[in-house]
Structure 1
């Protein structure tokens, strides 16, 4: 799988931009702040409907505008698909496929698969459990897009259940009516939570071996990388050689919620469910969080992303279906030995997109096409050069003064959403 064209309009710092791409490795090189990361972020967002930099859509839209567009021509073997996503903060995002009528953004999931590694991923190792839960859920939805509905249902029911607990405490009232309503939310939350947990545990089954292999390959086998899932739902914690059924998880979660009613009423908060769970990471016997060195943290975070790439490849063994691999500003933090090992690992991808502040940071083993991103008062001037000789490419990236246009062979603009509705899938470091 690879992109031959990328077009953005009113995305981040770009009024409009058009980038021509090819299979293999392409590195966007330029000083900090010229927009390299914005372009690879657009590719990642088109594939997953989430940003690796922000959790909300509003920062993705150029200041003063009410929407942004990302378009691409995506190739899978001999087939090509034109895909465009319109980002509408505060409303439902829309997607158009092959210049067709705009539909819900979720309908476009799975057309483009991407795996993104960026400096923000250090938080997967060093920060609170929320980032690790999001990592699991995003990979789960890439594997099984229908489970995005389960995650959305769970969040909706969780908000309503918490609202009931909070209102009851504020009003100082808890009677048969509130108890009956809570029981209804218990049932809905248990079923949605069980689907979400079952999906997460299946992902962890698939992830365990690739994570060990990727970390060992990056570090020359210094320490084994492992994990354990820690859940508030009985019977769900552990390393999971076998995954409980949805029905088993739902029954356990329902009972745990009932047992926690008194404590939840006192705190006005739901204390049981996948929103409270942790993915604990280990290097050898020690927890990675708080004990890993800076180099080990980088390697473990990178191994998580490379392992997720392997999981997606194994899910669809067609060589033409391999995800686009995106590495944002990664090589500068690695020593020469790890750079070389990483170059060998990523060469399996049909297309690799990289960013770097200096050409010297990119290992020669990648044989990457270099796209130099420079910015002047009017926008960006771009030159692509191979490792052997420079090759000027006129207009590969533009920040045009004219109104943005999608190229003829690309996707058509998605239509405007008529009415307000909750923001759809997705959620930004200007680099």
Structure 2
């Protein structure tokens, strides 16, 4: 698939932009702060309905210099799958629910999920190795939704139930000692939320396990390519449910067969839901004391290893870059080989946002050689010299949020 046309209104620094694109490699060149990243961020937003740079959509609406603040931003693109184009549009409305259109007809925003697949590699991706588990959970969930777009609804449902159950736990903590009738009512309601959260969380966990299983061989081969065979990259799903049940945490020393066995025990949604419900029931007292949900998909993690050591805390800066890059390239390869999607045309648009300047020459050349044959690659760079010679293609100049083609 590829994006053939992009239009922006009041998105980030762009008052209005229309730009035509084509398959192959397109590089957007310009000094920092001129709008390159904003442009590719808009394309990625249509894919995941979230920004890879900020958590709040409000920041995506252009801030007017004249004091007249736009009410929202519009991102519109024509996406081509084989010979079949789709026009997708999202209206980002500050302080309100977003609106969406598919082929000019109104739809729910989540109905756009899966129409455009993107994989973004940006300097912020070091967070995949360095930062807290939430970053890696989002990484897995984004990929799971691209593989199974119906999971977008499950993800929203899970987060809503999680927040409502946490609110009930805090209320129960506040009402302790105020009378047995109110607590009995709250505990009865809590059991209902247990079942609902367990059902939604189990579907997410099973989807993540599928992603990890499919991603694993690609991470190993991509890390080998970008690192020059320096060490072996491994990944494992770290489950709060398994930890609660007393299972051994995934570590290289325990043997990868044990890791695979543990993950296979999380592959049946109905069974996982039943186990989660039991775990939640046994944690009610502790959860009320802390006012927090203590077991489930929201407390899981993706463990990353280089050789026999955890990447977080032990990997060098260069190794962290290589591993982050391998995770994104592996995502691209996994989606590209998802041959059942879109009649065999599920290859994602690959976005390389200001990454070449941060890589040494060996990693630059390795990355360039791996992506040169992709159906569509969008590159941003401050200067032409940052783009490897092997990535010949269209060149666009970006200055003051104006885009012109060479």
The question of a shared fold, defined as TM-score above 0.5 by the shorter chain, is answered with yes
Question: Cα offset for 1:127?
Answer: 0.6
Provide the residue aligned with 2:394 in structure 1. 369
Please give the residue correspondences for 1:242-253 in structure 2 after superposition, counting only pairs within 5 Å: 242=264, 243-253=266-276
Following the alignment from structure 1 to structure 2, what is the Cα–Cα distance between the partners of residues 54 and 276?
A: 22
SS at structure 2 position matched to 1:130: helix
- Aligned pair partner of 2:200 in 184, 192, 199: 192
SS at structure 2 position matched to 1:51: coil
SS at structure 2 position matched to 1:18: strand
SS at structure 1 position matched to 2:312: coil
Q: Is the 8 A contact 1:27 1:370 kept in 2?
A: yes
Question: Cα offset for 1:97?
Answer: 2.2
**Mapped pair 1:17 → 2:40:** no
Provide the residue aligned with 1:215 in structure 2. 223
**Mapped pair 1:254 → 2:277:** yes
- Aligned pair partner of 2:365 in 340, 361, 386: 340
Provide the residue aligned with 2:31 in structure 1. 31
Provide the residue aligned with 2:323 in structure 1. 300
Question: Cα offset for 1:92?
Answer: 2.7
SS at structure 1 position matched to 2:260: coil
Provide the residue aligned with 1:330 in structure 2. 355
Q: Is the 8 A contact 1:92 1:105 kept in 2?
A: no
Please give the residue correspondences for 1:133-144 in structure 2 after superposition, counting only pairs within 5 Å: 133-144=137-148
Normalized against structure 2, the TM-score is what?
0.90
* 1:34-86 superposed Cα distances (whole Å, 9 cap, x missing partner): 00000000010011211101122111111211211111122222222222221
Q: Is the 8 A contact 2:29 2:384 kept in 1?
A: yes
Following the alignment from structure 2 to structure 1, what is the Cα–Cα distance between the partners of residues 273 and 81?
A: 39
User: Quick one: higher RCO (CA 8 Å, sep 6+), 1 or 2?
Assistant: 1
SS at structure 1 position matched to 2:114: coil
Provide the residue aligned with 2:134 in structure 1. 130
Following the alignment from structure 1 to structure 2, what is the Cα–Cα distance between the partners of residues 305 and 211?
A: 9
Please give the residue correspondences for 1:55-94 in structure 2 after superposition, counting only pairs within 5 Å: 55-63=55-63, 64-94=69-99
Following the alignment from structure 2 to structure 1, what is the Cα–Cα distance between the partners of residues 240 and 99?
A: 36
Quickly say closer, same or farther: Cα 1:370–1:122, change in 2 above 3 A: same
- Aligned pair partner of 2:405 in 384, 388, 391: 384
SS at structure 1 position matched to 2:295: coil
Following the alignment from structure 1 to structure 2, what is the Cα–Cα distance between the partners of residues 155 and 4?
A: 34
Question: Cα offset for 1:319?
Answer: 5.8
SS at structure 2 position matched to 1:87: strand
**Mapped pair 1:264 → 2:276:** no
- Aligned pair partner of 1:240 in 253, 256, 260: 260
Q: Is the 8 A contact 2:3 2:77 kept in 1?
A: yes
* Runs of 5+ consecutive residues of structure 1 not aligned to the other structure: 386-431
The answer to which structure has the higher helix fraction is 2
Following the alignment from structure 1 to structure 2, what is the Cα–Cα distance between the partners of residues 279 and 3?
A: 31
* Runs of 5+ consecutive residues of structure 2 not aligned to the other structure: 64-68, 251-258
Following the alignment from structure 1 to structure 2, what is the Cα–Cα distance between the partners of residues 268 and 80?
A: 49
Following the alignment from structure 1 to structure 2, what is the Cα–Cα distance between the partners of residues 98 and 148?
A: 20
**Mapped pair 1:153 → 2:157:** yes
Question: Cα offset for 1:268?
Answer: 1.2
Question: Cα offset for 1:321?
Answer: 2.9
Quickly say closer, same or farther: Cα 1:319–1:365, change in 2 above 3 A: farther
SS at structure 1 position matched to 2:240: coil
Q: Is the 8 A contact 1:84 1:97 kept in 2?
A: yes
**Mapped pair 1:164 → 2:168:** yes
SS at structure 1 position matched to 2:337: helix
SS at structure 1 position matched to 2:314: coil
* 1:395-417 superposed Cα distances (whole Å, 9 cap, x missing partner): xxxxxxxxxxxxxxxxxxxxxxx
Following the alignment from structure 1 to structure 2, what is the Cα–Cα distance between the partners of residues 138 and 252?
A: 25
Q: Is the 8 A contact 2:90 2:100 kept in 1?
A: yes
What is the alpha-carbon root mean square deviation over aligned residues? 1.6
Q: Is the 8 A contact 1:201 1:240 kept in 2?
A: no
Question: Cα offset for 1:105?
Answer: 0.9
Q: Is the 8 A contact 2:113 2:152 kept in 1?
A: no
* 1:369-423 superposed Cα distances (whole Å, 9 cap, x missing partner): 2211122xxx52x4433xxxxxxxxxxxxxxxxxxxxxxxxxxxxxxxxxxxxxx
Normalized against structure 1, the TM-score is what?
0.85
Provide the residue aligned with 1:360 in structure 2. 385
Q: Is the 8 A contact 1:29 1:358 kept in 2?
A: yes
Following the alignment from structure 1 to structure 2, what is the Cα–Cα distance between the partners of residues 30 and 93?
A: 31
Question: Cα offset for 1:120?
Answer: 1.0
Provide the residue aligned with 1:398 in structure 2. none
Count of aligned positions: 380
Quickly say closer, same or farther: Cα 1:33–1:167, change in 2 above 3 A: same
